[in-house]
Amino acid sequence: MKKVKLIKLYYMHPRHLEKKKIKNAKALSLIQGALTDDLFPRIRNEKTAKGAWDILSREFRGDKKVRAVKLQGVRADFEYLRMSESESLDGYLAKFFATINNLKSLGEDVSENRIVQKLLMSLSRRYKSIVSIIEETHDLEVLRSEEVIASIKVYDKREDLHDERDKLRGTEKAFSSFKIGNNQGYNSHKSFQSRPTQKWQPQDRRGSNWNPNKTLNSYSNSNWNNTGGGSSQAGEKPQCQVCQKHHFGLCRHKGKPRCGRCNRFGHITKDCES
């Protein structure tokens, strides 16, 4: 007897078929909307959401071996993750939770307690005091990361306010010091100007006040006496034997010819123009 293979046909009501198409279109639209312009061409020709999801899953997650290798690298990044002294709190939190999301996407089970402990251990020395307070006043087994982040942000805001106040005080102190220095300089300059001026008297080598007139008189008198010009009383100008005028020192007309007509120095009688 010949066997006949029966094929069971499934009949789907048009109404259910329409609902399935709508769900598939919504899921495919969500997947397409989450992709960037560079990734969208890879699923452009897919008509079903499952087909698009399988393409992305194979590319980014890979098989078990590929996921295991990627997971080891992300685990190492998570273990060595530390906040630097110059790094902002918001920037570090973004990097911290991005690493956690990578772990979860590769199948790693990251508990809330592990997240809290790693966050408290990896903060910089700026948050050392608030970390100690949280560890002493809270039970880390039930503490959530949102509560820790809220406490750290409040502390960070207060520290920023203290830093701004310290900078403002330093600026005010520097300005006040500069102002006091200018006032002192002005007062010293004013007091210097208000001092009575004293006439400077030169001194000779023996320390006594030096009188230039006295020295010049003594020099002229001695020179006049030595040249045969005669003697004069102290304080009077001697009469010059050359020009017959009274002055100190050598005569500026000495050695010059003297005109017999105009009685002037510098030319002789035959050259006189008068």
What pLDDT shows up at residue 177? 67
Extents of the domains making up the chain: 14-60, 64-161
Distance CA 242, CA 228 (A): 12
What pLDDT shows up at residue 219? 46
Distance CA 130, CA 197 (A): 68
What lies within 8 Å, CB to CB, of 237 at 6+ separation is: 220, 246, 247, 248
Digitized pLDDT (tens) for each residue of the chain, 274 residues in all = 555 555 555 556 677 788 888 898 999 899 888 888 888 888 888 889 999 988 888 777 767 787 888 889 999 999 999 999 999 999 999 999 999 999 998 888 999 999 999 999 999 999 999 999 999 998 989 999 999 999 999 999 998 887 777 777 766 666 676 666 666 655 655 555 555 555 555 555 545 555 555 544 554 444 444 444 444 444 578 888 888 888 887 887 777 788 878 888 777 787 787 7
Model pLDDT for residues 92-107, shown as the tens digit of each residue: 999 999 999 999 988 8
Distance CA 263, CA 274 (A): 11
Model pLDDT for residues 194-239, shown as the tens digit of each residue: 555 555 555 555 455 555 555 445 544 444 444 444 444 445 788 8
What pLDDT shows up at residue 115? 94
Distance CA 86, CA 88 (A): 7
Angle at 219 between CA 214 and CA 225, to 5 degrees: 125
Half-sphere exposure of 245 (CA within 13 A, CB side): 10
The encoded tokens of residue 27 equal 């899921």
Distance CA 219, CA 250 (A): 11
User: Would you say the pTM of this structure is higher than 0.85?
Assistant: no
